[in-house]
Chain A
Amino acid sequence: MTDVVTDEARAGEGVTYDLVVVGGGPAGVAGALTAALAGLRVALVDSSARLGGQYFRHTAVPARAPGLDRFLRQARALSDRAEVLSRHQVWSVTREPDGDLLVHANSPEGGAVAVRGRRLLIATGAYDRPLPFPGWDLPGVLTAGGAQALLKGNGVVAGRRVVVSGTGPFLLPVATGLAAAGAKVLGVYEAGGGLGLARHPLLALGKAGEAAGYAVSLARHRVPYLTRHAVVEAHGEREVEAVTVARLGRRWNVLATRIVECDTVAVGYGFVPQIDLGVQLGCATRHDVDGSPILETDAAQRTTVPMVWAAGEPTGVGGWRLAEIEGRIAGRSIIAHRRAPGAGVEVAAGEVAGVLARRRDRWRAFGAALQQAYPVEPGWQGWLRDDTLVCRCEEVPLARIREAQELGATDARSIKLLARPGMGWCQGRICGYAVACLAGEPQQPPRRPIAQPVTLGALSDTDTPHDSAH
């Protein structure tokens, strides 16, 4: 595995790559490898120590996991044929006068690196979409993906007595993973559904094997799976000691509550696609089935901005198989573009015709069906109290958001200007969805001129391409 980049000269002094890929998950690696195998000069930039993204996150000595061996072989093949910059956090992409794209990143040593490419593939994945509730900022309350990252990437079980709550199929692998690793999983509280595991949407979608696997695993570890239930409050002084679990009505209004003692909570209400780089470059966006802003792409995975492609969750959440297929399609389209830059849609369409495009369409339909099966209902807003923090960074409670609305703030943007939710370190990544819901509007594409915090020194270096750390 290429997991350490110590020599910054490897960022490619004086090199213009045919393709720069941002993101080292299944989409990014598939796109980069497809292009590299065809002889294109490729660089891939990723924030993690090891390639894999969220789904194929693994420990330094990888454990066995479905599909992981195959992914690691792809990653090794890529490392032999392309420049892989791990531990590099991309904070912006800019366009040079000659049309080249400059991908600016923080290097692990704290310096600034710019990687120059003719084409860009955005494969930046997604992160958990949390909902606020009283006590959600107590230590021991983690996102479902956070608990999963601890386990998959570090071999650390998030807690001894764990409650899993939220909505969507992702709760199942998180709960079964924790239980198999030795945690006592006290319950999986799925806010949606109302049908239980026996009629889980995975079954309706022809994924009976997968659903049955989770059901068997939950049963073996005696983990209750309750639909129309959710954690609506966390209690504790310095860390979480118990939660209030509520039985919910159809719109997620609280019908009845009880206390469950636990030391850890894993919560997740779907995912937020990471589209900052595309928005920075002016790519058109649209709303996905669940309302998430995503990048508009055509049949060849091209965004609306020339020389910029996107694959995986930034084009709509659909899981790792869809991400990999989209990455391969993007790679083929990029190869076709290099061979015949002047050619239009026909060439690109010809390149993606057939099996790959049909598989993509099938997985997209699957992703959309899952999003439809697990909508976030508005009743969660009733779980909040006046002093419940909505924005964790700026410590903005619900009362201050309501106050801003009373002062005349009618949309999420003016609420942000008056009450400051989303103005802190995470730039609204965590609270953006909740604030949009509270404002009664669909979530807008993020306007973040800088996708990662960056030092002033790095900013002042940005006009120097390539290696400017020394």
Chain B
Amino acid sequence: MTFAITVDGRSVPVVPGQTIGAALHAAGIRSWRATRFGARPRGLFCGIGVCFDCLISVNGRAPERACLVEAAPGDEVTTS
């Protein structure tokens, strides 16, 4: 009932309907980018598309909000 996405080459399980951000958070990956000035780690904060902390690049696309993008089988994401 689950499928997999790849995070920096590592396989992460996803329950259909979960967002990329939820799948990462559930897998214990709680930050996936660093801020511009202080290089501070960031992941989910508002969880509903308001704060933009959780920006992530999926399949090489421009950064999107991980809390809004639903994961699809085979998605590849890279963290920084």
Query: Interface on A for B, CB 8 Å cutoff?
Result: 47-50, 54, 59-61, 89, 110, 127-128, 130, 137-143, 145-150, 153-156, 158, 238-239, 392-393, 395, 424-426, 429-430, 453, 455
A-B contacts, 22 of them at CB < 8 A, read: A48-B68, A49-B70, A59-B15, A60-B17, A89-B49, A110-B61, A137-B42, A139-B41, A139-B42, A143-B45, A145-B48, A150-B47, A153-B19, A158-B25, A392-B51, A393-B51, A395-B35, A424-B52, A430-B50, A430-B51, A453-B52, A455-B62
For A147, the closest partner residue in chain B by CB is B47
> Knowing that A110-B61, A426-B50 are A-B contacts, what are 15 other residue pairs whose CB atoms are under 8 Å apart, sorted by A's residue number?
A60-B15, A60-B16, A61-B17, A139-B44, A142-B45, A143-B46, A143-B47, A146-B47, A148-B47, A153-B19, A154-B17, A154-B18, A154-B26, A238-B41, A239-B31
Which chain B residues lie closer than 8 Å to A128 at the CB level? 46, 50
B19, B31, B46, B55: the one contacting A154 at CB < 8 Å is B19
* B26:A156 contact, CB within 8 angstroms: yes
Q: Which of B19-50 contact A (CB under 8 A)?
A: 19, 22-23, 25-26, 30-31, 35-38, 40-50
CB distance from A234 to the nearest CB of B (A): 12
Query: Interface on B for A, CB 8 Å cutoff?
Result: 15-19, 22-23, 25-26, 30-31, 35-38, 40-53, 55, 61-62, 67-68, 70
CB distance from A441 to the nearest CB of B (A): 22
Which chain B residues lie closer than 8 Å to A143 at the CB level? 45-47
B22, B36, B51: the one contacting A150 at CB < 8 Å is B22
CB distance from A71 to the nearest CB of B (A): 17
Given known A145-B47, A146-B48, A154-B19, contact A392–B68 (CB-CB < 8 A): no
A110, A239, A393, A429: the one contacting B41 at CB < 8 Å is A239
| Most interface-central of B41, B62, B67 (chain A CB within 10 A) | B41
* A393:B52 contact, CB within 8 angstroms: yes
Which chain B residues lie closer than 8 Å to A239 at the CB level? 30-31, 41
Given known A155-B18, A156-B25, contact A54–B48 (CB-CB < 8 A): yes
Give the CA-CA distance A455 to B55 in the complex, in Å: 15
| Most interface-central of A60, A130, A138, A150 (chain B CB within 10 A) | A150
* A395:B52 contact, CB within 8 angstroms: no
A89, A110, A149: the one contacting B48 at CB < 8 Å is A149
Give the CA-CA distance A48 to B70 in the complex, in Å: 10
For A136, the closest partner residue in chain B by CB is B45
Which chain A residues lie closer than 8 Å to B16 at the CB level? 60
A49, A142, A425, A430: the one contacting B44 at CB < 8 Å is A142
* A139:B49 contact, CB within 8 angstroms: no
Which chain B residues lie closer than 8 Å to A453 at the CB level? 52
| Most interface-central of B23, B25, B43 (chain A CB within 10 A) | B25
Which chain A residues lie closer than 8 Å to B61 at the CB level? 110
CB distance from A377 to the nearest CB of B (A): 23
| Most interface-central of B15, B22, B68 (chain A CB within 10 A) | B22
* A137:B40 contact, CB within 8 angstroms: yes
Which chain A residues lie closer than 8 Å to B68 at the CB level? 47-48, 89
* B50:A156 contact, CB within 8 angstroms: no
Give the CA-CA distance A428 to B62 in the complex, in Å: 22
CB distance from A51 to the nearest CB of B (A): 14
Give the CA-CA distance A145 to B31 in the complex, in Å: 19
* A47:B55 contact, CB within 8 angstroms: no
For A154, the closest partner residue in chain B by CB is B22
Give the CA-CA distance A149 to B21 in the complex, in Å: 11
User: Considering the complex of A and B, which 4 residue pairs feature the smallest CB-CB distances, nearest first?
Assistant: A60-B17, A146-B47, A154-B22, A425-B52
Give the CA-CA distance A59 to B22 in the complex, in Å: 12
For A455, the closest partner residue in chain B by CB is B62
CB distance from B22 to the nearest CB of A (A): 4
Give the CA-CA distance A238 to B47 in the complex, in Å: 19
B25, B44, B49, B70: the one contacting A47 at CB < 8 Å is B49
